[in-house]
Structure 1
Amino acid sequence: MQQEETNRKYGGVQFLSQMIYFSFGPIGGAFFAFLASITAAWLIDPGELGRVSLFTTAITLTTLVSNLGLDRAYMREFASSKNKEELLYNCLCVSLCTSIVASILIILLRQPIAGLLFDNSDYLSIAILAVILPIDIIGEYSIYTCRLYGNVKKYTIASIIQQLSYLIYIVGFYCLGIRGYRTIIFARALSMATKSIVAVFLEREHYCFFGKLNKSIITSALRYGVPYMPALICSWVLNSMDKYALRIWSTYDEIGFYTSAFTIVSVLAIVRNAFNSFWTPLAYKWYDEGEDVSYFEKVGDYITVILIVLSSLIILLRNVIFKIYKPEYSHAANILPFLLFVISMETISYVVGCGINLKKKTIFNLVATASACVINLIGNYILVPRMGGVGASISTGMSCMAYMLIKMFISRTIWYKFSIIRYLINILLITAMSACAIIFNSIFVDVCFATFIIIYNLKSIYGIWAIMIRFVKKRK
């Protein structure tokens, strides 16, 4: 009984403790990524930055497809697996084999891919895409392993090293006389390779380099992971359709503005990455151990308040932030408000939609993402030709909100009926603030909205502050 009281008393402290520890890496990584983004913006024109952005989305897609959802299966089965090294070996081997096949296809289809991404015949960059794919997959599995074993120091090192090396490589290539978007592409590829090498070295004791393939493990992992694939691909489409819509209906310059605005969203990505680093295994653990659902509700409330308040402050300061970019990037400030939804709504969905994964009804992930994709496609078709990057951000932001809401209502139906009033009011407030920021672009209106959002969430902010105080006292 006493132990139970202790757990209840310090449950929030333990939650915040994990989030703070796992945020060290994302904070450091985001800092260097932000510096790298500003450096890139000063070194190349918006159109060139647009080509880099399309290259990055291509890497994301090929990595996602090559994994076959086995990375998700690895995380899901990790806690219950008796031989974790064997689980890692089997999942990684299959992902590596599919990545090699994907790399071969990329080389064979280099001409149309180069035309789509760069509007030229840059086969060297396509070759880099093919080579870096299997290397990046190894690095990603190593990052997952750091998270699952709860090794904060290793996770922090691996998270920071990629973005720090990215910044160093950008400056280095530029000093060597390599100009244009290739400067950034070469730097990106080498930084991913650096991350993979460091991450594998850090987690080397968990790798079984000469193991045997286990048919039952592979079959079980594929049965769990492959049904994820349509949902994951739809998720990629949801998050990348905007850039390709701009490629089709607008210009590379607009993609560059859009990309620079997305960099500011990295502030919210710090919270998302830190939260996601431990939330997925923790949610499975709580569910398997039969923890009270009030824990899930409190986490959902706190993470929503953190994201909504941060979003309102970023919108308030958006014009000041873009003063550090070259003057031609100032247009990106109008693109920023709705782009914040991409991170905030996705992160909130981790909690409000977790019932889908806990109940192993992963088909509903496909329902949510496919519905959001349709909304995004229609929105991009209507808005991008008329409004360029601003239209793409509105379409993407609203479709991400739809994605979160669909997952929330499905989760309530198949799990338990948690309260949604505060979620809906917060979403309504930040949506109204984003719309008014684009329409009026008035600091007075922004201040009024930000103030009202803080006042509405004051009780939760006080709760978060109280937990932080207890966390500090506990550490002393």
Structure 2
Amino acid sequence: MNAKTILQFSMGPVGAAILSLITLPFVAWFFSVEDVGRLTMLQVILGLAVSLFSLAMHQAYVREYHEEEDKSALLKLSIIPGFVLLIFISLFILVLPFSISSILFGIDSNLITFLLFTGLFATFFINFLAHVIRMQERGLAFSATQIAPKIFLLILISLIMSLNWAAEFKTLMLMNTLSVVFSLFIFSWLTRDSWLISITKSVDFVLLKQMLLFSLPLVAGGLAYWGLTTMDRFFLRSLSGFNELGVYALAVALAGVVSVLTSIFSSLWHPVLYKWTKEGIDENKVQRVIENMILVVASFWSLAGLLSFIVPFFLPPQYLAIEYLIVACVSMPLFYLLSETTGVGIGITRRTSFAMFASIVAFLINAILNYLLIPVYGSSGAALASMASFFMFFVIKTEASAFLWRPFPRFKIYFILVFYMFATCVVVLAKAHISNFYIVWLILLLLTCGFFAKRLIESVNFFKIYFGKEN
């Protein structure tokens, strides 16, 4: 994958992140904190739809893509099992004698229920079609699908403000559902050559069984990971209410902009990794990626610590706690990003049960810590619990990879990350009221650069040579 393709894939997540940074303050100013909390519950449920109903077959699609000649038949096999399950579960829920919207959002509304299921089905198909574009290495198309829904959402918010529509959750739900459906239309058009052909393909039950054997262990892990990333919201809702949930959710959403790194890296990394595996993987290449990634993680974590004081200036007064919460929230996508490189042995050896184990253990730790910390520290406890759980998720995947594939140096990585976690705990518990604490973030960044100085110099020289050739 050349630099041009990498740039094309990067444009979408970066553009989407910038648009999210513009949109989130508007939502915070225009809608109540409680509605922001309800919006979080919607995003949680849509995330569950991907984790549960996809049966992790999108990962099987990625794993088998370079092994199978008939890509359209492979796409059909990946979609069918989850689609059947989604239809069955949806019909079952609709005939139950209670309101699903009341349970999830505290509002009994048929409109909200309809919008919820519309969003669920759209999200299900988007997940698979996005992987089609990703595996075809169509960078510009992938970026377009990332940016267009965000632009559409921003336009809808502008209309609400200019037309004086009611600033209530039904309106917010409608905006998000329309954005998801709009995104599905874009994905469908860009991948029409793949999914239209797949409809007429026959079902290869031998390949379907092989894909299910790969993906099903990931379902439990995916559900555990979903719980790991969303459990704090459920605890906050039950123990603190929608108000504190809204503040914490916005902190997570802002920190989630860092997930642009994960989105870009995952879009590029897995196809390249499995191509390397087929051709005969060079272990030194993977080691270079790991060491470069720890430098990236340390840089972004330090930047979050240094610049977090700026965030409250763009939000209403009731969101002041985000200044210190965001530092802990940033650690979650960064730990996941790093685990994508240190945990490569799990995918290479197809031992996906170890990824499931990592998610389940982290999920249980998160449940225990949320139960213990939220009653005492509120949203701060939720942030620290999630940070600790993601660290354990990263450690288990890293150690599993070293066990299954090959051992690699890990002490310096753990050493650096433990100190970053300790500094984050101090900031959160002290509510960012420690003078000159920025020095700590600078020292930690310099320490990381010193530990991996050879790799840093090598990377700097590479970019000098590369951009020198471009000029």
Q: TM-score, normalising length from structure 2?
A: 0.93
The code of the aligned residue for 2:182 comes to T
Provide Cα deviations, 1:54-89, integer angstroms capped at 9, x if missing partner.
Answer: 111011102321111111111111111110111112
User: CA shift at 1:237, angstroms?
Assistant: 0.5
Deviations 1:194-231 (A, max 9, x none): 11111111122222153133133322222221221111
Q: Give the structure 1 partner of residue 112 of structure 2.
A: 125
| Cα separation, 2, equivalents of 1:406 and 1:397 | 15
CA distance in 2, matches of 1:216, 1:176: 57
Equivalent in 431, 448, 456 of residue 456 of structure 1? 448
Three-state SS of the structure 2 residue aligned to 1:397 is: helix
**Aligned pair in 2 of structure 1 residues 49, 354: CA closer, same or farther (>3 Å)?**
same
State the distance in 1 between where 2:2 and 2:380 align: 37
The aligned residue for residue 465 of structure 2 is 470
Q: Which residue number in structure 2 is paired with residue 199 of structure 1? A: 187
Instruction: Kindly state the Cα deviation for residue 179 of structure 1 after the two structures are TM-superposed.
Output: 1.8
The letter of the residue matching 1:457 is C
Structure 1 unmatched ranges of 5 or more:
1-13
Question: Which of residues 403, 418, 423 in structure 2 aligns to 1:433?
Answer: 423
- Residue 337 of structure 2 corresponds to residue 347 of structure 1: yes
Cα distance change on mapping 1:220 and 1:266 into 2, 3 Å: same
Tell whether the 8 Å contact from 1:355 to 1:414 is kept in structure 2 after alignment: yes
Deviation of 1:379 after TM superposition, in Å, equals: 0.3
Letter in 1 for 2:102: G
User: Counterpart of 1:73?
Assistant: 60
Choose which of 210, 215, 231 in structure 2 pairs with 1:225.
215
CA contact (8 A) 2:423 2:440 kept: no
Moved more, 123-132 or 64-73: 123-132
Q: Any idea what SS the aligned residue of 2:98 has?
A: helix
Deviates most, 396-405 or 437-446: 437-446
RMSD: 1.9
Contact 1:26 1:156 in 2 (8 A): yes
Contact 2:13 2:260 in 1 (8 A): yes
Q: Is the 8 A contact 2:56 2:215 kept in 1?
A: yes
| Equivalent residue runs for 1:274-423 within 5 Å | 274-423=264-413
Greater CA deviation, 38-47 or 204-213?
204-213
User: Could you tell me the percent identity over the aligned residues?
Assistant: 21
- Cα distance, 1:61–1:452 mapped onto 2, change above 3 Å: closer
Deviations 1:293-325 (A, max 9, x none): 111111111112112211111121112122111
Q: Which residue does 2:44 correspond to in 1?
A: 57
1:378-419 CA distances to partner (integer Å, 9 max, x unpaired)? 100001111111110100110000010011111111111100
TM-score for both structures, normalised by structure 1: 0.92
Q: For the Cα contact (< 8 Å) 1:246–1:388, is it kept in 2?
A: yes
1:50 maps to amino acid? G
After alignment, is 445-454 or 309-318 more displaced?
445-454
Match of 1:11 in 2: none
From 88, 103, 124, give the equivalent of 1:101. 88
Q: Deviations over 1:63-116 (max 9, x none)?
A: 321111111111111111110111112222333332222332343348353233
Query: Number of residue pairs matched?
Result: 463
Kindly tell me: are residues 88 and 237 of structure 1, through their superposed partners in 2, closer, same or farther at Cα, counting changes over 3 Å? same
Q: How far apart, in 2, do the equivalents of 1:355 and 1:342 lie?
A: 21
Task: Give the gaps of 5 or more residues in structure 2.
Answer: none
SS in 2 for 1:317: helix
- Give the structure 2 partner of residue 3 of structure 1: none
1:135–1:449 CA distance, 2 compared to 1 (3 A)? closer
SS at match of 2:320: helix
SS in 2 for 1:261: helix
Matched, 1:185 2:137: no
Secondary structure at the aligned position of 2:42 is classed as helix
* Residue aligning to 2:438: 446
Residues 115, 121 of structure 1: 8 Å contact kept: yes
Does the CA contact (< 8 Å) of 2:101 and 2:109 recur in 1? yes
Distance 1:81 1:473 in 2: 39
Write the mapping of 1:126-145 to structure 2, written as runs, cut at 5 A. Answer: 126-145=113-132
What secondary structure is seen at the aligned counterpart in 2 of 1:335?
helix
Q: CA deviation at 1:153?
A: 0.7
Tell me what 2:232 maps to.
Answer: 242
- Alignment equivalent of 1:268, drawn from 251, 258, 263: 258
Distance 1:361 1:386, change over 3 A: same
Q: 1:211 aligns with which of 197, 200, 203?
A: 200
The residue type paired with residue 87 of structure 2 is I
Indicate the SS of the match to 1:213: coil
Matched residue of 1:361: which SS?
A: coil
* Code of the aligned partner of 1:43: F
> How far apart in 2 are the matches of 1:204 and 1:80?
22
The residue that corresponds to 2:33 in the other structure is 46
Counterpart amino acid of residue 77 in structure 1: E
Give the counterpart letter for 1:27 in structure 2: V
SS of aligned partner of 2:436: helix
Report the alpha carbon displacement of residue 16 of structure 1 after superposing the two structures with TM: 6.4
> Following superposition of structure 1 onto structure 2, how do residues 164-183 of structure 1 map, counting pairs within 5 Å?
164-174=151-161, 175=163, 177-183=165-171
Matches of 1:91 and 1:291 in 2, distance apart?
26
Q: Distance in 1 between matches of 2:449 and 2:98?
A: 53
For 1:444 and 1:296, the matched residues in 2 are separated by 38
The 2-side partners of 1:210 and 1:409 are apart by 42
Between 1:266-275 and 1:92-101, the stretch displaced more is: 92-101
Q: Distance in 1 between matches of 2:233 and 2:199?
A: 42
- Take 2:442 and 2:244, find their aligned partners in 1: how far apart are those partners? 28
Moved more, 440-449 or 233-242: 440-449
Whole-angstrom distance in 1 between the partners of 2:380 and 2:97: 31
CA contact (8 A) 1:34 1:266 kept: no
Q: 2: distance between equivalents of 1:326 and 1:370?
A: 37
1:173: how far off? 3.8
Asked if 1 retains the 8 angstrom alpha-carbon contact of 2:221 and 2:359, the reply is: yes
Q: Any conservation in 2 of the 1:380–1:392 contact (CA below 8 Å)?
A: yes
Q: Which amino acid aligns with 2:200?
A: G
1:32 alignment partner in structure 2: 19
2:98 matches 1:111 = yes
